[in-house]
Amino acid sequence: MGFVTYEQEGYVGIVTINRPKALNALNTEVLKDLETVLDSIDINETRAVIITGAGEKSFVAGADIGAMSKMTKEEGAAFGKFGNDIFLKLESLPIPTIAAVNGFALGGGNELAMSCDIRICSENAVFGQPEVGLGITPGFGGTQRLERLVGTGKAKEMIYSASNIKAAEAYRVGLVNAVYPLEELMPAAKKLANKIASNAPIAVRNCKRAITQGYMSDMPHAAEVEEKWFGECFETEDQREGMAAFLEKRKVEGFKNK
């Protein structure tokens, strides 16, 4: 794809938003390329995905303001739905996703990162939803996911004031899991992705389903969701091997995704 590249390293897929001259800003073409890449990921051969941005300054600096400035009300709504649909597709990808945020993650960039399961960032990362300063609201999930991640008060503060936060503050409020020097970011992301990939893939995927489906439910229903996906792990080859290895005090010979 022209604006989004994909590399496979063993069981780990690496998606890179590749528009560095525009700080990897999102426009229709970038979003289309991202959707095509997401659709092409083979979950039988890929056990974790890393999403990052090209260059050392920006993860994704936002949506393309030049393109949005000329949109009608109908075009704006359609653009919001287009981006939301793709980010929902990313969020519901059956395998775990890690955002390796290597710089600016503003507007659509923060929304892209929040659509991933886990976020880690470099020390130069900056996060924010600056949309109200442009006369619009966040349109790719920012008003919804930010509140779920950092709490209502902090999300409202950031969105209403269009205030950015740096890496240390993003870690403090729970927007990211860890902060690394820039040169250590991708090695750390790959290490985490490979650690995830080393575990039983069916079990990991079922954990993601249980968390996602139960998160916004009341506890009794969430428990039922967990019971379902817990039960689905039994009688798999990986469950048998994992438990046999434990009982025999040996390492797993290798999970087969079966």
Both ends of the chain: CA-CA distance in Å?
31
Kindly give, in sequence order, each residue whose CB lies less than 8 Å from that of residue 161, ignoring residues fewer than 6 positions away: none
Catalytic residue among 123, 131, 157, 184: 131
In the annotation, is 226 catalytic? no
CB 158 within 8 A of CB 132: no
Question: How many whole angstroms separate alpha carbon 22 and alpha carbon 18?
Answer: 9
Catalytic residue among 111, 183, 224, 235: 111
Kindly give, in sequence order, each residue whose CB lies less than 8 Å from that of residue 59, ignoring residues fewer than 6 positions away: 17, 24, 52, 53, 99, 100, 101, 102, 103, 104, 105, 109, 112, 113, 121, 125
Question: How many whole angstroms separate alpha carbon 77 and alpha carbon 72?
Answer: 9
Sequence letter at residue 25: A
In the annotation, is 56 catalytic? no
Instruction: Report the b/e string of 99-113 with b at 16+ CB within 10 A.
Output: bbbbbbbbbbbbbbb
Residues serving a catalytic function are: 111, 131
